């Protein structure tokens, strides 16, 4: 159950708490979209309409890593879901919480009333807000619940539970599966991720193997967090690691100097977009992927295999 200092911290950060272990939060891009002032890079890359996106998690406060670049609250991380909420209830309550969070926007003159009405029923669910979603024991059922309501799912994982990804492959896969990477070799793994598992590097590599096996069954993505002065080096090593997964997409995105990460990193560690672009081109050259899109204000670059870069199917 979300309580104590974690609950206080989340409320201070404008999270909408849902049940015993879930949460939603309206990201800045959803807000900008409602005001017709911009949209998320996922809309530009994949057609996901930002004002219809529900950024949520079934595992707020649960994670097995304490990454130095994470802006989320990690010092209160939990391990067991007691009590555990059911997927259908999480889905319904997340929508209610989203509606409550955006209720005040309607009165703003610059808010698009049409978008606000549409936003009452979010269609895209980014299961990535806080914590590690693969720790939630009924994740496959939650994904299926969202799909049964004609929603799409973007699941982001740190790869520490490859057996859960294997289970999803046999039950219900997300619409798009993200695996986060921030290191290219084992020597930097413990320093940057500070994992609870002693075999974290092996687990990550197993997850990369699982992604390769899921190729063609769902849209797979490796997302690299680029930290200036820390991991933007040795593009050939990055290519070697990413190649294990053979992902459809590779996103290379700048570390942002926000939240809890400010305890461990400096503002200078946040690369500018031209630096992210240059690094992405180097990785892409080694990997055989080409740059097919980018969004400078999000400091993110999208790479795709050279033989398939002209075949991106965008979501409605």
Please report, for the domain that includes residue 281, its CATH number: 3.20.20.70
Of 167 and 74, the one with more pLDDT: 167
pLDDT band for 43, please (50, 70, 90 cuts).
very high
Q: Whole-angstrom Cα distance, residue 46 to residue 82?
A: 36
Describe the strand order of the beta sheet including 219-226 as a list of residue ranges.
16-18, 22-24, 53-57, 124-127, 152-157, 176-181, 219-226, 249-254, 300-305, 289-295
pLDDT at 7 over 80: no
pLDDT at 230 over 60: yes
The residue with tokens 């939630």 is: 136
Strand 219-226 with 289-295, pairing? unpaired
Is 312 within a domain?
no
User: What is the pLDDT, as a whole number, of residue 209?
Assistant: 98
DSSP-derived secondary structure for 156-173 = EE-SS-HHHHHHHHHS--
24's enclosing H/E stretch is: strand 22-24
* Number of domains composing the chain: 1
Q: Whole-angstrom Cα distance, residue 257 to residue 69?
A: 8
pLDDT at 308 over 80: no
Q: Whole-angstrom Cα distance, residue 176 to residue 133?
A: 14
Is 313 within a domain?
no
2: phi then psi, degrees, rounded to nearest 5: -75, 115
Q: Whole-angstrom Cα distance, residue 184 to residue 234?
A: 8
pLDDT at 265 over 80: no
DSSP-derived secondary structure for 120-170 = TS--EEEE-SSS-GGGSTTHHHHHHHHHHTT-EEEEEE-SS-HHHHHHHHH
Is 311 within a domain?
no
The two three-digit tokens of residue 98, written as one number? 């989203």
Return the closest-CA partner of residue 300 out of 24, 46, 88: 46
User: What is the pLDDT, as a whole number, of residue 177?
Assistant: 97
Of 64 and 161, the one with more pLDDT: 161
Is 316 within a domain?
no
pLDDT at 266 over 50: yes
The pLDDT tens digits of the residues spanning 143-171 come to 999 999 999 999 999 999 999 999 999 99
Of 258 and 287, the one with more pLDDT: 287
Q: What is the mean pLDDT of residues 47-62?
A: 92
Return the closest-CA partner of residue 125 out of 195, 74, 176, 194: 176
User: What is the pLDDT, as a whole number, of residue 74?
Assistant: 55
pLDDT at 178 over 70: yes
Q: What is the mean pLDDT of residues 127-144?
A: 93
Domain range enclosing 32 = 4-305
Q: Whole-angstrom Cα distance, residue 160 to residue 125?
A: 22
The mean pLDDT of the chain is 90
pLDDT at 76 over 50: no
Name the pTM for this structure. Answer: 0.92
User: What is the pLDDT, as a whole number, of residue 309?
Assistant: 53
Is 314 within a domain?
no
Is 215 within a domain?
yes
User: What is the pLDDT, as a whole number, of residue 94?
Assistant: 96
């Amino acid at each position: 159950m979300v309580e104590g200092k974690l609950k206080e911290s989340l409320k201070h950060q404008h999270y909408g708490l849902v049940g015993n272990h879930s949460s939603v939060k309206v990201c800045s891009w959803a807000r900008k979209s409602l005001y017709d002032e911009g949209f998320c890079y996922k809309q530009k890359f994949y057609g996901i309409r930002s004002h219809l996106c529900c950024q949520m998690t079934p595992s707020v406060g649960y994670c097995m890593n304490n990454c130095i670049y994470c802006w989320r609250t990690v010092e209160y991380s939990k391990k067991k879901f007691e009590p555990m909420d059911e997927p259908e209830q999480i889905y319904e309550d997340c929508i209610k919480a989203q509606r409550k969070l955006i209720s005040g926007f309607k009165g703003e003159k610059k808010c698009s009333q049409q978008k606000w009405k549409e936003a009452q029923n979010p269609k895209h669910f980014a299961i990535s807000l806080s914590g590690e979603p693969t720790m939630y024991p009924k994740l496959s059922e939650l994904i299926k619940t969202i799909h049964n309501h004609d929603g799409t799912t973007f699941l982001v994982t740190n790869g520490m539970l490859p057996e859960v990804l294997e289970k999803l492959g046999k039950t219900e896969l997300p619409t798009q599966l993200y695996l986060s990477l921030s290191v290219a070799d084992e020597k930097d793994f413990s320093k940057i991720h500070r994992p609870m598992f002693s075999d974290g590097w092996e687990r990550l590599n197993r997850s990369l193997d699982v992604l390769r096996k899921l190729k063609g069954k769902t849209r797979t993505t490796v997302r690299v967090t680029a930290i200036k002065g820390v991991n933007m080096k040795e593009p050939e090593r990055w290519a070697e690691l990413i190649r294990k997964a053979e992902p459809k997409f590779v996103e290379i995105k700048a570390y942002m100097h926000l939240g809890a990460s400010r305890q461990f990193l400096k503002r200078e560690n946040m690369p500018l977009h031209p630096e992210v672009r240059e690094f992405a081109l180097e990785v892409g050259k080694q990997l055989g992927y080409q740059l097919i899109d980018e969004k400078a204000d999000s400091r993110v670059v999208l790479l795709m295999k050279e033989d398939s870069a002209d075949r991106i199917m965008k979501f409605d």
